[in-house]
Structures are given as structure tokens and as C-alpha cells.
Structure 1
Amino acid sequence: MSSQSESVQLSVTALTAEVAALFADAGLSSAGAQRIAGALIEAEQQGLKSHGLMHAPVYLERMRKGSVSTHDRAEMVSDHGAVAVLDARHMLGHLAAEQAMALAIEKASRFGIGAVAVRHGFHFGAAGRYVAQAAQAGMVGIAMSNTRPLMPAPGGAEAVVGNNPIAIAIPTADEPMVVVDVAMSEGALGRIRHHHQRGEPIPGNWAVTAEGLPTTSAADAIKGLLLPTGGPKGFALAMAIDMACGLLSGGAVGSEINALYGDTSKPNDCAFLFLALNPQAFGADDLPQRARAQREHIRKARRAPNTAAIRTPGEMKWRTAATQQETVQIDRSTLTALRACAIPIDTLAVSHGGERP
């Protein structure tokens, strides 16, 4: 965890405006810049630093090199009742994902279910953001994405599938909603990069070196292979997610996807799949109330010794965000990288502090 000396407290309003200015300067529309800034800072507010502002510099670098486009709307490829396919045209993944889930929600309100696949995508941050979008509309949401290969098959010695995330959200009658957001490795690459950025070791079960040797070095892990959670089970899920996203969308799969931090002149080219399920179409109008009751039943279950509390999926993000509505703690290393991006346009909250003691 960041100590006070390793992080600074910034105004959310000022930081959002200045991060948006960075993206607008890179050619994104004003509305699109506000949306991506809000998405990245929301991750910081939720404590998801590995999905937040640490990625802004590479996003901006890619936009300037042209491997991420300045589009803020994906194009419709096909639209058949409850199902649609979008072409993100290599735009910022957060914007394409928001649009796709909004379309899935709209279709679910008409047909009971909505399914939207997206091709030519780009890193979209935390998948939980988009299923929460569905749950806030009263829908059950499912989201997944493929990524470039990072994990070997059981018994293999080369990466063949990505650390592909899947998220599911269940609407509840009150907060916190149930939001499951998991990738298929023991430790997500974004978390490993965050450890590397801070000069911290990683747990020994997260990755192996390029030679297949155990490691606690974040730098060696980035060059090596991630280990699937649950062994063959995690690998199998990652493989299924890769195929569902890439093949249904007509997009890339496996080694056709490029690394986020690799050759930044090449499009990332990942693919997404979003589903929204309307409880009313299932005759489950009371789903939010029943979901709340089940959530509370689980939270009040008998605890093991020395356990402070039982938390349900998504609860810690919700609690953390509740404490960072007006100001947010940002790692100094992230702030340094943002300041380097901000130098050409002299943004205030980033370049000149915007810091709260």
C-alpha cells in the first residue's frame, strides 16, 4: 500500500480537468477526453491503481503515434435484434466499452437480452466498470476481453493465451452491488507493472521468468510468463474468453493481439464481448431485493477466528471510492509520469501540484 510519502492527495475536479486536457491535446474530442479522464480517475478512486492513471502515458504515446485513434464512437458493423457487432477502430477502449454496454442495455430493455461484440479494440481498464454500468440500469451485466498471450498452456513453455478478464454484476436494492471482476492469472499484468513502478517484489506464485524459473522480480515477470489462477481451470477459462471475444466479433485472437506496452506504433487490436440480461424478461422483478438479501446473508455468515469482516465482491472498491469523492491519493511515480506528459501544455493540477497536504 502507498504510504503518505509515496502518494499525494489531489482534487478530483482539478485532476479530471487536467487529465482531460492531456487527451484533448492528443486530438480527442472534448467529450471523449472528459470520459476517459473520468474513467481513469474512477479507477484511482476505487483503489484500482493498476487500471488507472499509470496507463495514461502509454495511451497518449499511442495516440500521438496513431496506433490508438482519436475516434470517440465505434462504428456499427451489424445489428440483428438482440445482437450487434461494433468496430472500435482502435479508439480508446474505455469509450468503446461504455458505448457497447449502453447498446447491450438498450437491447435488453427491448428483447430481454442484449449482446454486443467489439473488434479492433484497445485496453479498456477494469471490466467491472462496464458490468456496473449494466447493474446501475437494473440489468445483470457480463463483460469480457481478450489480450495478447501472456500465459502458457498446462505443460507448455510459451505464452498462448492472454490474462483475459471476465466481470459479472448483479443489481441489488442498495449499495454495494455485487461486482465480480477477475482476470485469469494469479496476478494481473497491470498489478505487476504497478509493483515494478514502485520497485516492489511480487508474490512468488504470480509469474515465472522467460526461462520458466520462479521469480519475485516484477521486471523478470513482465518479460516472462504469467501463471493461470487455478492451473488448468484458469487456462481453460482464458482460452474460452479469447475465442468468444475474438471469433464472435470477427476480430483478433491469441498472437494476433499486440502488447499494450510493446511496439506502440502497432494497434493493440483486442476484442470485447458485453451482455446485459433484463430481470423483468425472466419474470424476476424482485431480483434486486433477493440479491440484497443473499448478499447480506453472506456478509453475516459465521466468521473464522481473527477475521474482521466478510466482504462481498465489489464491496472494497465501493468503500474505497466513498472515501475519495472530492480528493484522491495518486502515487508519486504516476504523478511524475503525468507531469512529463503535461509539460508541453502546462496543465495546472498535474504540472503545478494541485496537491492537498
Structure 2
Amino acid sequence: MNQQSELSTVAASALLRASSEIFCAIGVPEADSRLIAVSLVEADRRGTHSHGVMRLPLYIRAVQTGGIVPDAPMRWTRGHGATAVLDAADGFGQVAMAHAVDKARDLVREHATALVAVRGSSHYGAGAYWASQLAREGLMALLASTTGASVTPFGGAEKLLGTNPLTIAFPTGGDDPVVLDMATSAGAYGRIVEAGKEGHEIPEGWAVDADGVPTTDPTAALAGALLPFGGHKGSGLATLLELLAGPLAGGRMAAETTDMWADPSVPMGTGHLLWVVDPAGVHGNAAAVSRAAAFQQRLRDVTPARAVREVLSPGDVEHRNAARNADRVPLPASVLNDLAAMAEQMGTHDPRSADES
């Protein structure tokens, strides 16, 4: 952003409790409420506010208007070898992903690999939350998802593709795997929404308006189309990811999807594709993981360019943020105020209250 959002800090325990209680208040089962809340709070701890508790009011509206089923009867519809398909029944994406990650763990023990498809789902939060869990257990994870249409293909001026996030996490034998978590749009949709709420411009090259003219106005960008990162290369990657999480996983294509931001009353029907590999199962030893750890360190040891303090491995910034924000979480002030107002309306815990034990 061109301007830094005003941030307030709140106790992580109080934020987690407040978020969980709000979900419970609208009929989400207690265990699922905590799961969803943890994923959102963790995104804020990592500094990814576009996927943090700023999403909570949107999720609540979706449940209240029918776009998300709070206690969806998810079921496995097919299993064959190292593959499995989950029907998320229009439930929370986080709950669907928790099932997918558990199934992948089971399959990878037997096959050294697993391919788990999820259909009929919704937004699952930050992909790094799911892929990193598996990487910390010594497994490589690749995760893709469809979204609503918000991105124009390279050279276009109309929405056709989703932001189609890609997450890849590779184990290094420790608590900080190499993690890439990115939208294939030049900027994340949630960050543009956040910029609009905060009254900030977005960077040049992120979007075009409804007439196809480049814009830095977040409102005009949302009315127009986001641009793919990296020109034709990002556009090509977004296209292939949409095919993986759409036709292959069984989810709706972006152009077939009513995005939650546009109308939260319509189930999104998104698809997720999770591919997991056990390097030790492939090679019979831990050599791949140890080589990855050495390469990660080699990346960090690269001589910095002039005026650059250090070279980082993918995921380092977010890992450092999470460690620094373990007890108190920085949030945009407007997000915290919205959450507090919602808690007051529902008669639940105010996140701005004293720290929880």
C-alpha cells in the first residue's frame, strides 16, 4: 500500500476467543468455530491481514444469508489409490481443508503421496496455514484453489480468471519450511478490499477499471478487473491452476462462481486440490529434506544487492512476524473496531478486553 494502515494490538488469546464465540453464536459447531478462528488469527500473526479476521464479518454474512452452511454434512464421495474426493457441502473452506489434510496424512503413509480434491467449498483462508502444517511434519505440500472471477487474462479487460492462489511448502526438518503462498493476481483481492476500507490507493500495475484503463483506486479496481502478476507468465499460471482446482478437483470455474464479496448469500462451490509427497517415502531416507535445509540457508547467505539488508528464503518474513506476534496481534484499527462492534451486537467477548489466561 502507498500508506501504512493504522495498527492496534490485541492479545492473541482474546482475539481467538472473541472470534470463536462469534462463530458459535451463529450456529457453527464449537470445534469448527475454533478451527476457523485459529486460521484467521494465525494469518494476522503472520502479517497477512487480507486473510485474517477482517474476513470474519464476510463469513458471518455468508452464514446468515445462506452462502455458507455452518454445520455442513461433508462426506467423502470417492477414493481410489492415493486419491480422494471430498464434497464440502457448501461448508467452511477451513473445515473442508482440515478434513483434506487429515486424509492426505493417511494416504501418504501408505502411498508416499496423496492427491486430495475438495469440491463445493468456500474460502479456506491463507493457504500457508494448511501447507505449513504438512511441511513441518516432513511432507511437501502443494495447494491450489479456485475463487470468484476478478482477474482478466493477459491483454484482456474483463474478469474471467480467479486470483487462483498457489501455496507450496517444502520441509527443511525444522519449524520454518520453505513456503511460497501467493495469489496469481498482481495483488491479493483481500488487500484491495482492505485498501478500500482504509482509504488507501493500491500500487500501479495491480488493476484496470471497468474501461480497461490502469487504476490505483481500489473501488475502480473492484469494479474493473485485477491484473495477473508477471504479465503473460502469471496469466498462464493462473489458467493452469484454475484447471487443477476447477475441472480436476471438481470445483466451479471462476466465471461460474458468484464470489462471496459480491453476494455472500450464494454458495461459491470452490474447488481445492492438495498434493502431498513424503520425500522419505520416495527416496527411503531424509536426504531430500536435509538438502532443502542446506539450500534454504544458502539462499539466506547470498550476498545482498546494494541497499538491501539481507536475502530471505520464501516464508521467512511471515515466520518472523508470527514469532514476534505470538502474544499480541497487530490489526488494522478499523478491523478491530468492526470485530468489537460485532461482538457487542452478539453479546460475545470483546477482543479489546484484558488478556485471557
Shorter-chain TM-score range:
over 0.9
Structure 2 match to 1:254: 254
Is 1:228 paired with 2:228? Answer: yes
1:285 maps to a residue whose letter is A
- 113 and 232 in structure 1: CA distance in 2 versus 1, 3 angstrom threshold: same
Query: Stretches of 4+ moved more than 6 A in 1?
Result: 1-5
How far is the alpha carbon of 1:156 from its aligned partner?
Answer: 2.5
How far is the alpha carbon of 1:162 from its aligned partner?
Answer: 0.8
SS in 1 for 2:346: coil
Structure 1 match to 2:295: 294
- 319 and 72 in structure 1: CA distance in 2 versus 1, 3 angstrom threshold: farther
Structure 2 CA distance for aligned equivalents of residues 5 and 257 of structure 1: 31
2:111 maps to a residue whose letter is F
Structure 1 CA distance for aligned equivalents of residues 8 and 182 of structure 2: 28
Structure 1 CA distance for aligned equivalents of residues 118 and 65 of structure 2: 23
Report matched runs for 1:21-170 at 5 Å. 21-71=21-71, 74-170=74-170
- 51 and 226 in structure 1: CA distance in 2 versus 1, 3 angstrom threshold: same
Structure 2 match to 1:343: 344
1:331 maps to a residue whose letter is P
How far is the alpha carbon of 1:289 from its aligned partner?
Answer: 1.6
Structure 1 CA distance for aligned equivalents of residues 305 and 327 of structure 2: 36
* Unmatched segments (≥5 aa) in structure 1: none
Structure 2 CA distance for aligned equivalents of residues 345 and 193 of structure 1: 25
Q: CA RMSD in A?
A: 1.9
How far is the alpha carbon of 1:87 from its aligned partner?
Answer: 0.6
The answer to which of 117-126 and 92-101 deviates more is 92-101
How far is the alpha carbon of 1:78 from its aligned partner?
Answer: 0.4
- 355 and 199 in structure 1: CA distance in 2 versus 1, 3 angstrom threshold: farther
Structure 1 match to 2:10: 10
- Alignment check: 8 A CA contact 2:141 2:277 kept: yes
Structure 2 CA distance for aligned equivalents of residues 295 and 57 of structure 1: 38
Structure 1 CA distance for aligned equivalents of residues 254 and 346 of structure 2: 38
How far is the alpha carbon of 1:72 from its aligned partner?
Answer: 6.1
- Alignment check: 8 A CA contact 1:9 1:355 kept: no
Q: TM-score, normalising length from structure 1?
A: 0.95
2:277 maps to a residue whose letter is L
Structure 1 match to 2:323: 322
- Alignment check: 8 A CA contact 1:142 1:276 kept: yes
- Alignment check: 8 A CA contact 2:260 2:266 kept: no
SS in 2 for 1:144: strand
- Alignment check: 8 A CA contact 2:340 2:350 kept: no
- Percent identity between matched residues is 33
Structure 2 CA distance for aligned equivalents of residues 333 and 230 of structure 1: 32
- 173 and 187 in structure 1: CA distance in 2 versus 1, 3 angstrom threshold: same
How far is the alpha carbon of 1:3 from its aligned partner?
Answer: 9.8
Structure 1 CA distance for aligned equivalents of residues 2 and 11 of structure 2: 18
* Unmatched segments (≥5 aa) in structure 2: none
The answer to which of 204-213 and 249-258 deviates more is 249-258
Paired residue total:
355
- 99 and 41 in structure 1: CA distance in 2 versus 1, 3 angstrom threshold: same
How far is the alpha carbon of 1:344 from its aligned partner?
Answer: 2.8
1:319 maps to a residue whose letter is R
Q: TM-score, normalising length from structure 2?
A: 0.95
How far is the alpha carbon of 1:158 from its aligned partner?
Answer: 1.4
1:187 maps to a residue whose letter is G
